[in-house]
Amino acid sequence: MKQILVVDDDPLMRRSLSVRLGQEGYTAATAATAEEALACVQTNRPDLLLLDIGLPGMDGLEALRALRTQVADIPVIFVTARRRELDQIVGLELGADDYITKPFDLDVLLAHIKAVLRRSTGIAPDRFVGAQNLA
């Protein structure tokens, strides 16, 4: 079961995402601050981070910089209210794998999560199409 760390300072957002992720078969952990998230990553490495930019203290962009110095290969999707193109460009150039703006449709976010996880783990063996003896 894939574990997703939801990092958002809004308790309702953390709770609603955790519930829905659980319904979809994921294990969800939550953090209210970037500092808490970085500590969680050290103790229990998630398969994916959903990271808000507008966090108190260290913001999500700084958190991603710090995360990438510790662990380079955990996929990160920014889920944020920041809609400026510059924020999106900076986030992606810092190493985010995707960028979703709030408000968002939960089914669309789930599709992005599945796509990022699929890219980060490669093609599942049951989805691999092979051919033999073509000559």
Does any domain span residue 97? yes
Nearest to 7 by CA among 66, 73, 106, 80: 80
Q: Is residue 82 part of a domain?
A: yes
pLDDT tens digits, residue range 14-42? Answer: 999 999 999 999 999 999 999 999 999 99
Between 135 and 87, the higher pLDDT residue: 87
The answer to the question of residue 128 being in a domain is no
> 115 in a domain, yes or no?
yes
Residue 50 lies in a domain: yes
pTM: 0.86
Residue 112, token pair as written in the block: 């992005």
Mean pLDDT, all residues of the chain: 90
47 touches 3 (CB < 8 A): yes
> Residue 31 is part of which domain span?
3-123
Which CATH number characterizes residue 38's domain? Answer: 3.40.50.2300
Split into its structural domains, the chain has a count of 1
The answer to whether position 130 is within a domain reads: no
All residues at 6 or more sequence positions from 111 whose CB lies less than 8 Å from its CB, including other chains: none
List the beta bridge partners of residue 77: 50, 98
Residue 131 lies in a domain: no
In a domain, 129, yes or no: no
pLDDT digits (tens, 9 = 90+) for 63-94: 999 999 988 899 999 999 988 999 899 999 99
- How confident is the model over 105-133, as pLDDT tens digits? 999 999 999 999 999 876 444 444 444 44
